[in-house]
Amino acid sequence: MTSSPKAKSHFRKAVCSLAQKFHTHEHPGEKVVEWKFDAAGPLPTSIDSTSLRNKVALITGSSKSIGASIAKTLAAQGAFVVINYAKDSKSAEEVAQQINYAAITSTSDLASASLPSDHRENGENGQVEHPQSQPQHQAIVIKADSSTISGGQHLLQETLRIFGRLDILILSAGLMGSKSLSEIDEAFFDAHFDFNVKAPLFLVKAAAEVMARPGGRIIFLSTSLTAASTLLPNALCYVASKGAIEQITRVLAKDLGTRGFTVNTIAPGPVNTALFRAGTPQHVIDNIAAQIPTHRIAEPEDIAPIVAFLASPAAQWINGQILGVNGGYVV
């Protein structure tokens, strides 16, 4: 039984359509479809992957505590990381040295990943830029006061100068003061909203124009106190500023989501950091720990893996969410 000319034509077109995925194939009267593969570009990443290989991550306030743990965790997943500090250069350098030493001594593909040589798209104009210098390490240190708009701009510009791209922005730096209403003055209020709200928002605004798209990840840090039923009266400015960040997250998810970005917030509970312990009596810490099912407060290493997951391709469908990471302290 012979096939009709029409059936042969349909079969031929189907075969050619499949073949065009692998090589340029042309037939008279048909549009040429050219498939290109840039061998120098980054390795393709499955959308269900938690690997951060070849990603560039900028973490504000990452010289110690939660920020430092986030930087180390992202680096362990293959990301190039920017360690940011304002005053403590020694701590920042130590974090970078630990990451770079681990990358040198590790035999895993993640630790030995090379910086992608693909271009980044500069905003809406589509200009192509390449890094002015190739970084020699997986982690670099940049001094910048991320509590100010100008400091954030410097941090972003240096990241782009060195790495030539930005995939992940994590706003870890923040201010947590303790004053009740009768003690609050204008300077105290402004310091919290400048540091915790204004500076991060304008850094996100600038970064959104140059971040790799789609797939860019923006992650804020808040606190579980915004959802807690028991609060101390001296947490007013801190909690109010973090509440603002959570609402900003919801709105930006709708706005920047149109560009293929996700915007989420991690809201940790009590974490064993110098900032948390400062001025807090041990009996108060013990009382807080007793309210957590595991009877302990978190370590920074309990928070970082959740941030790393949100930064990964696997988290593409999590957007505009406030994730409480508190071990059941607030439910």
Return the closest-CA partner of residue 329 out of 301, 287, 282, 300: 287
How far apart are the C-alpha atoms of 282 and 299, rounded to whole Å?
A: 16
Helices (H), strands (E): how many in the chain?
10, 9
User: Helix (H, G, I), strand (E, B), or coil: what is residue 51?
Assistant: coil
Catalytic residue among 64, 72, 198, 242: 242
Secondary structure (DSSP) of 201-233: HHHHHHHHTTS-SSS-EEEEE--GGGT-S---G
Return the closest-CA partner of residue 241 out of 263, 222, 254: 222
CA distances 27 to 3, 33, 253, 263, Å, are 21, 11, 45, 46
How far apart are the C-alpha atoms of 315 and 309, rounded to whole Å?
A: 6
Token pair listed for 62: 């990452």
How far apart are the C-alpha atoms of 62 and 59, rounded to whole Å?
A: 6
User: Helix (H, G, I), strand (E, B), or coil: what is residue 95?
Assistant: helix
User: Helix (H, G, I), strand (E, B), or coil: what is residue 11?
Assistant: helix
Catalytic residue among 69, 147, 222, 241: 222
222 is catalytic: yes
224 is catalytic: yes
Catalytic residue among 172, 224, 241, 312: 224
φ, ψ at 151 (rounded to 5°): -65, -40
**Cβ pair 171, 200 in contact under 8 A:** yes
How far apart are the C-alpha atoms of 25 and 14, rounded to whole Å?
A: 12
Report, as residue numbers or ranges, the catalytic residues: 222, 224, 238, 242
